[in-house]
Structure 1
Amino acid sequence: MIGISDIEAAADLIAGHVIRTPTVPSPGLTALLGAPVTAKLELLQRTGSFKSRGATAKLLSLSEAERAAGVVAVSGGNHGIAVAHMAGALHVKATIVMPRSAPARAVRIAEEAGASVRLTDTMDGAFELVGRLRDEGLTLVHPFDDPLVVAGQGTVGLEFAEDAGDLTDVLVSIGGGGLISGVAAALRARRPGVRIWGVETEGAEAMSRALAEGGPVPVGLSSVVSTLSAPTVSELTYAHVSALVDEVLVVPDREAVAGTLDFAEHAKLWTEPAAGCLLPAARRVLERVGEGARLGLVVCGGNATTGDVLAWAERFGLR
């Protein structure tokens, strides 16, 4: 299990390479939800998502031999951008494997950062190809199954605990579970009374299934939210979520996209559906816990184009 000392060490390591993103009250979301809302704005991070933290922690920890070998990463979009960006800064050759469902913008940004991008038909296929490339000698920078990456993501929770006012409930999106594992570890150490809620989208329910089955299991992926679409969680992230998180909620893609539009209209934030899913989940949390709730939202990323969001809105009849 990742401890607070691991997260503090990661914070020292990545300082100067990542942004200490703002933690701000949101009057617009407070009015929308009817309860005080504080947002941790990871969409303002370098590369547009929290993924810079874990990728930076891992890459800075590599030996000279590992750097010389080059790195490989699998991604639905944001992790690939983060690894490509930091590898370029360190003059490390990077190969990023993404499914064809990944946003075209993510592919373009990774290539512009100097990475070699390889596309597969499915996310399962992407993970399989990365395994083969690792076996050929490349150094794996896993998006969530790595203690250093989880500790790096945990710096989000460390900052949130230090910068936010009084909170009762914190909501965090889940793909493979690296972000919520690190955030939960930090909050349990610094804010032990806070309830922690994970949020997934239907068709990307790897953590919910793992909790139901008693461990990681493969899941079928059908969500439009590629950045949350992990084919399975890891033993590492499952252990953290099962021990530290109160509950994982699952919302439909349509509600996640509606949440993205609500973030834009009410909070003036341009998010991706991986963050948009927090708002419908927040409504469920408020129904559960009743009056007196003070919400914290980890706004994980904003790497969606206007075209992406408008197309999803059209698809789900939201325009």
Structure 2
Amino acid sequence: MIGIPEIDAAAERIAPHILRTPTVSSPGLSALLGVPVTAKLELLQRTGSFKARGATAKLLSLGRAERDAGVAAVSGGNHGIAVAVMAAALQVKATVVMPRSAPARSLAEVEAAGAVVRLVDDMEAAFATVPRLREEGLTLVHPFDDPVVIAGQGTVGTELAQDAGDVTDVLVSVGGGGLVSGVAAALHTLRPGVRVWGVETAGAEAMSAALKAGGPVPVPLSSVVTTLSAPAVSRLTYDHVSALVHDVLVVPDAEAVRGCLELAEHGRLWAEPAAGCLLPAARRVVERAGPGARIALVVCGGNATAADVASWTERFGLR
């Protein structure tokens, strides 16, 4: 299990390379939900999402031979951008395997950073390339199944604990579970009375399925939210979530997209559906916790184009 010593060590290593993102109260979102709302703005992070933290922590942990041989990543979007951009900044060669369904903007940003892009049919096929990548001598920068990466993501939690006011409930998006594991590990020590809630989208339910099964299991993927679409969580993230997270909520894709629109309209935040899913989940948390709830949202990323949002809005009939 990751603890504060590992997270603090990661924070010290990555500090010169990443942004300490703002943690702000949101009058608009507070009015929308009817309770005080604080937002941790990881969409302002370098590369547009929290993923820069874990990727940088892993890259800085490599030895000279590993750096010279290069690294590889498997990603539906944000992790690939983070590995490509931060590897370039640290002068490490990177290869990123992505599904053809990945957002065009994400593909373009990975290529622009100088990484080699390999396209495969879907996320299952992308993760299936991992043994071959290792055979090629590349060091895998896993999006979640790595204690160094989780410690890097956990720095979101230490900053939130230091900067947020008196919150009772923290909501964190869940794909493979690296972010929620790190945040929960940090808050478990620094804010032990705070409940941490994970949020998934329907069709990307790897963590909730694992919790029901008593361990990681493969799940079919159908969500439009490719950045949350892990075909299975790992034993490492499952162990953290099962021990430290209050519950994992699942919301439909349409509600995640509606959450993007509401974050823009009421919070003045341009977020992607992986963050938009937090708002419908927050309504359920308020129902369960009552009017005394004080909510914090980890707004994990903002890598969505206007065309993306318009397309999803049309698809789900949202106005």
- Whether the 8 Å CA contact 1:271–1:303 is kept in 2: the answer is yes
- Whether the 8 Å CA contact 1:197–1:249 is kept in 2: the answer is yes
Aligned to 2:18: 18
Aligned to 1:179: 179
Residue 189 (structure 1) aligned with residue 171 (structure 2): no
Looking at structure 2, the residues matched to 266 and 63 of structure 1 have their Cα atoms a distance apart, in angstroms, of: 46
Aligned to 1:252: 252
Looking at structure 2, the residues matched to 213 and 25 of structure 1 have their Cα atoms a distance apart, in angstroms, of: 37
The CA deviation at 1:309 is 0.5
The CA deviation at 1:91 is 1.3
Give the percent of matched residue pairs that are identical in Structure 1 and Structure 2.
76
What TM-score, normalized to structure 1? 0.99
RMSD: 0.5
Q: After superposition, what is the alpha-carbon deviation per residue over 1:119-142, rounded to whole angstroms, capped at 9, x for unaligned?
A: 100101001113211122111000
The CA deviation at 1:63 is 0.3
Looking at structure 2, the residues matched to 72 and 112 of structure 1 have their Cα atoms a distance apart, in angstroms, of: 16
The CA deviation at 1:19 is 0.1
Look up the SS of the partner of 2:129 in the other structure: helix
**After the TM superposition, which segments of 4 or more aligned residues of structure 1 sit over 3 Å from their partners?**
none
Q: After superposition, what is the alpha-carbon deviation per residue over 1:250-284, rounded to whole angstroms, capped at 9, x for unaligned?
A: 00000000000000000000000000000000000
Aligned to 1:41: 41
* 1:211-222 paired onto structure 2 within 5 Å: 211-222=211-222
- Whether the 8 Å CA contact 1:54–1:149 is kept in 2: the answer is yes
- Higher mean C-alpha deviation, range 251-260 or range 85-94: 85-94
Looking at structure 1, the residues matched to 208 and 100 of structure 2 have their Cα atoms a distance apart, in angstroms, of: 25
Aligned to 1:109: 109
* 1:148-163 paired onto structure 2 within 5 Å: 148-163=148-163
- Whether the 8 Å CA contact 1:97–1:130 is kept in 2: the answer is no
Aligned to 2:77: 77
Aligned to 2:5: 5
Aligned residues: 319
Look up the SS of the partner of 1:265 in the other structure: helix
Aligned to 2:31: 31
Looking at structure 1, the residues matched to 100 and 270 of structure 2 have their Cα atoms a distance apart, in angstroms, of: 24
- Which amino acid in structure 2 is aligned with residue 314 of structure 1? E
Q: After superposition, what is the alpha-carbon deviation per residue over 1:202-253, rounded to whole angstroms, capped at 9, x for unaligned?
A: 0000000000000000000000000000000000000000000000000000
Look up the SS of the partner of 1:293 in the other structure: coil
- Whether the 8 Å CA contact 1:216–1:235 is kept in 2: the answer is yes
Look up the SS of the partner of 1:38 in the other structure: strand
* 1:191-270 paired onto structure 2 within 5 Å: 191-270=191-270
- Whether the 8 Å CA contact 1:71–1:141 is kept in 2: the answer is yes
Aligned to 2:284: 284
Which blocks of at least 5 consecutive residues in structure 1 are unaligned? none
